[in-house]
């Protein structure tokens, strides 16, 4: 069923009895041309673009839980293209352009809201770094505007500008940055893939990868064996476990990132704001909740929940930036399992096993990448050649040292990003 | 999360910094092949379950510890001084 305003009206007038499930619930077939492991944002978008761009439809997505139950439904939904390094900047630029046409393409409202993102800076050195970043964004063809303190005040009058600890010098404004409804992105891609014939198979955990003579031949799952000519691993925080089924050891550590949401409030924060000191960022959801977060807890974790010290740190950072939020009550906090790579940048590549492909290392920034990653991974899986926008996301960069992409300049080692 | 420091007793995790997997104790020889250094620096088992990690007690005695912890539950089952863990092999 195509969604439209007319459809909403017609259904509303007929008791909403005509709505149908947005995707089928098929049993797994014995064999597929391509199987994607992981029904998160990246797995679903990969399946969608394999069908849409490459005309491949004998495809299954295997998800051990339910679609969108992983990080894609747990993130703070920031979508932006303000990366600076060669490799990252073209990729995120590519992804943002896909976002901008996504709702029409999917015929699905993902509530993509380009409300503008402002990265605050608090010292001369930080301003210089942001001027450089802004110039790189502009050279890439994206948008960046340098705001001084007064410019920030106009957009964000409620910040504490005069604080002695981290006075606000200004901000780098990225008007095309913003947010989207995370679940809707998973659902929209799921529906789009299903409508093109992709089998979305939930409650189906992959437990083994069959390899014969260096070539992948299929998978063992909780719902039986499935043969496959090509397999894509797209399991975010579980990448190490699934890759180990193919005998691989990855340059990945899984860490917990927490997020928080307050009770619903009248509109107070129009943009996405990130604090340049004491890692903290915030936006307001369409339901009115303030959605905010900070750093990783900085220890390996699969618990999908964090500990109090980081919750306190985030709250303190928020209070020092915008004391007004102290009146809001936090409703919920949660955590997601992040696939951290040593240099903080992702991997979209083939593996040494014929027919086995790997997509991981998204760290805490993979939501904005959902369209770009699926698009580029589908290209790689269908054509066996990297998409130009993602050709730097090589797995071997850690072994060779060529092409490491360390945006923060902190070093290519675990636990530094 | 609390960590039982062998020197200071049971202390809040806020006093510690986590360095990561204790494989970093097994430093390759300076002339080891590049592949060994790559594995040492980058490749990890990344277990979902029991693990051994290096934690630094910066807010206490200043010792490096090997902490036994479960990454799926955050339960800490023990800690020894890194210097002794290394001698023990
Ligand atoms: C708190 C938080 C805030 C974040 N904020 C942002 C943000 O503001 N902006 C941004 O760009 N990014 C953000 N991120 C990061 C982003 O959410 C992730 O990088 C991205 O969602 C990961 O890709 P995914 O959607 O495919 O992962 P997931 O949704 O985790 O998908 C992986 C799927 O694989 C499945 N799976 C695992 N093992 C198996 C198996 N053996 N068999 C079958 N299926 C399996 C899992 O069940 C899961 O559904 C945030 C993350 C968190 C946790
Ligand atoms: Zn101690």
Mean per-residue pLDDT for A195-201?
Answer: 98
Closest-CA residue in chain B for A306?
Answer: B74
Tell me: pLDDT of A64 over 90. Answer: yes
Strand-pair partners of A174? A117
Angle at the Cα of A327 from the Cα atoms of A321 and A330, rounded to 5 degrees: 90
Alpha-carbon span A303 to A396, nearest angstrom: 29
B38 touches chain A (CB under 8 A): yes
E strands in B1-89 = 2-5, 9-12, 17-21, 50-56, 64-70, 76-81
Structure tokens at A75: 């993130």
Does B88 score more than 70 pLDDT? no
Domains of chain A: which residue ranges?
Answer: 23-77+183-251+343-395, 117-175, 253-340
Both tokens of B33, joined, read 């092949």
- Residue A300 has its nearest CB partner, among B41, B43, B71, at B71
Mean pLDDT calculated for residue range A358-380: 97
- Determine the Cα–Cα distance for residues A106 and A84; give it in Å rounded to an integer: 29
Is the pLDDT reported for residue B89 higher than 70? no
**Cα B61 to ligand 2 centre (Å):** 4
Q: What is the pLDDT of residue A48?
A: 98
Across chain A, mean pLDDT equals 96
Q: B86 pLDDT exceeds 80? A: no
Give the distance from residue B79's alpha carbon to the nearest chain A alpha carbon, in angstroms: 15
pLDDT higher than 90, residue A278: no
- Report CB contact under 8 Å: B41, A398: yes
Q: Give domain A117-175's CATH number out of 3.30.9.10, 3.30.56.10, 3.40.50.720, 3.40.50.300.
A: 3.30.9.10
Per-residue model confidence as pLDDT tens digits over A210-236:
999 999 999 999 999 999 999 999 999
pTM of whole model > 0.90?
A: yes
Same CATH topology for A117-175 and A253-340? Answer: yes
Which ipTM did the prediction report? 0.95
Contact A240 B35 (CB under 8 A): no
Tell whether B11 lies on the interface with A, counting CB pairs under 8 A: no
pLDDT at res. A408:
87
For residues A411 and A220, what is the distance between their CA atoms, to the nearest angstrom? 38
Distance A363 CA to ligand 1 centre (A): 9
Pick the CATH number of A253-340 from 3.50.50.60, 3.40.309.10, 3.30.9.10, 1.10.10.10: 3.30.9.10
The pLDDT confidence band at residue A3, using thresholds 50, 70 and 90, is: very high
Q: According to the model, what pLDDT value does residue A287 have?
A: 94
Higher pLDDT, A164 or A407: A407
Q: Provide the pLDDT confidence category of residue A163 given band limits of 50, 70 and 90.
A: confident
* Pocket mutation for ligand 1, best pick of A70, A189, A330 (most atoms within 8 Å of C-beta): A70
Residues of B within 8 A of A299 (CB-CB) are 18, 53, 69
Residue A281 has pLDDT above 80, yes or no: yes
Helical H segments across chain B, by residue range:
34-41, 82-87
Q: Say if residue A5 is exposed, middle or buried (CB neighbours under 10 Å; 0-12, 13-18, 19+).
A: exposed
Question: What is the pLDDT, as a whole number, of residue A162?
Answer: 86
Domains of chain B: 2-87 (3.30.2270.10)
pLDDT at B87 over 90: no
| CATH code assigned to A23-77+183-251+343-395 | 3.50.50.60
Query: Which of A140, A42, A39, A38 is CA-nearest to residue A91?
Result: A140
Residues with CB under 6 A from ligand 1: A 37-43, 62-65, 69-72, 74-78, 205-206, 234-238, 242, 257-259, 293, 336, 338, 362, 364-368
Distance CA A31, CA A217 (A): 10
CA A360–ligand 1 middle distance (angstroms) = 10
Ligand nearest to the CA of residue B79, numbered in listed order: 2
Q: Nearest chain B Cα to A256, which residue? A: B71
Identify the DSSP state of A352. S
> Which of A71-80, A159-168, A184-193, A203-212 is the least confident region?
A159-168
């Amino acid at each position: 069923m195509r969604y439209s305003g007319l459809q909403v009206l017609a259904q509303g007038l007929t008791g909403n009895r005509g709505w149908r499930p947005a995707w089928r619930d098929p049993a797994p077939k014995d064999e597929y041309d391509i199987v994607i492991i992981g029904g998160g944002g990246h797995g679903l978008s990969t399946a969608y673009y394999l069908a849409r761009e490459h005309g491949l439809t004998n495809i299954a997505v295997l998800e051990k839980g339910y679609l969108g139950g992983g990080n894609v439904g747990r993130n703070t939904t920031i979508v932006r293209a303000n990366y600076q390094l060669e490799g990252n900047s073209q990729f995120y630029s590519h992804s943002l352009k896909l976002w901008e046409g996504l709702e029409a393409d999917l015929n699905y409202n993902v509530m993509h809201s380009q409300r503008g993102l402002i990265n605050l800076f608090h010292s001369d050195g930080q301003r210089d770094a942001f001027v450089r970043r802004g110039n790189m964004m502009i050279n890439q063809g994206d948008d960046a505007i340098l705001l001084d303190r007064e410019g920030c005040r106009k957009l964000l009058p409620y910040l504490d500008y005069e604080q002695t600890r981290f006075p606000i010098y200004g901000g780098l404004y990225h008007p095309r940055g913003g947010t989207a409804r995370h679940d809707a992105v998973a659902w929209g891609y799921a529906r789009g893939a299903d409508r093109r014939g992709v089998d979305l198979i939930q409650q189906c955990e992959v437990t083994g990868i069959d390899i014969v003579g260096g070539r992948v031949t299929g998978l063992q799952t909780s719902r039986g064996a499935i043969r496959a000519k090509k397999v894509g691993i797209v399991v975010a925080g579980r990448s190490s476990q699934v890759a180990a089924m193919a005998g691989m050891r990855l340059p990945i550590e899984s860490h917990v990132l927490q997020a928080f949401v307050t009770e619903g409030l009248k509109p107070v924060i129009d943009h996405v704001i990130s604090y340049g000191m004491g890692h903290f960022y915030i936006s307001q959801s369409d339901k009115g909740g303030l959605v905010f977060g900070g750093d990783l807890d900085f220890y390996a974790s699969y618990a999908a929940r964090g500990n109090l010290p980081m919750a306190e740190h985030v709250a303190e950072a928020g209070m020092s930036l915008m004391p007004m939020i102290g009146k809001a009550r936090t409703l919920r906090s949660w955590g997601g399992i992040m696939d951290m790579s040593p240099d903080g940048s992702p991997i979209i590549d083939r593996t040494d096993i014929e027919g086995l492909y790997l997509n991981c290392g998204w760290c805490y920034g993979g939501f904005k990448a959902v369209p770009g990653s699926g698009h580029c991974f589908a290209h790689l899986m269908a054509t066996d050649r990297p998409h130009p926008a993602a050709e730097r996301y090589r797995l071997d960069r850690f072994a060779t040292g060529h092409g490491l992409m360390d945006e923060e300049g902190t070093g290519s080692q675990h636990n530094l990003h | 999360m609390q960590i039982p420091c062998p020197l200071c007793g049971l202390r809040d995790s806020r006093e510690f910094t986590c360095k990561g997997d204790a494989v970093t104790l097994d430093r390759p020889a300076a002339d080891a092949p590049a592949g060994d250094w790559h594995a040492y620096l980058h490749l990890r088992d990344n277990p979902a379950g029991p693990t051994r990690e290096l934690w630094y007690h910066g807010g206490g005695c200043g010792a490096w510890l090997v902490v036994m912890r479960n990454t799926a539950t955050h339960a800490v089952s023990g800690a020894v001084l890194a210097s002794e863990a290394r001698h023990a092999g």
